[in-house]
Amino acid sequence: MEDYTFKFKGKTYKLTDKWEETCINDSKAFQMQQFTYLNEVRDYLTMENRINNQIMLGYVEEIPYII
């Protein structure tokens, strides 16, 4: 089982299982590749927009920090 989590601006995010349920030609691995690329090229505005939209649609969830 792969870990589909990434960090952005000090927060940790996780891709939900909704990708496999609703997207025919998409996968979590592809989305992780996209987030990694955006981070590498420092396109933080696009990354922030994708995170916000995908949280709203249920494709990404923020993992709360536990002490």
Q: What is the pLDDT of residue 1?
A: 43
Task: Summarize pLDDT for 5-57 with one digit per residue, the tens.
Answer: 999 999 999 999 887 766 656 788 888 889 999 999 999 999 999 999 999 99
Token pair in block for residue 12: 């940790």
For residue 67, pLDDT over 60 is answered with no
DSSP per-residue codes, the chain: ----EEEETTEEEEE-THHHHH-TT--HHHHHHHHHHHHHTT-HHHHHHHHHHHHHHTSEEEEPP--
Residues 6+ apart with CB under 8 A from 65: 12
pTM, entire model: 0.81
Q: What is the CA radius of gyration of the chain?
A: 12
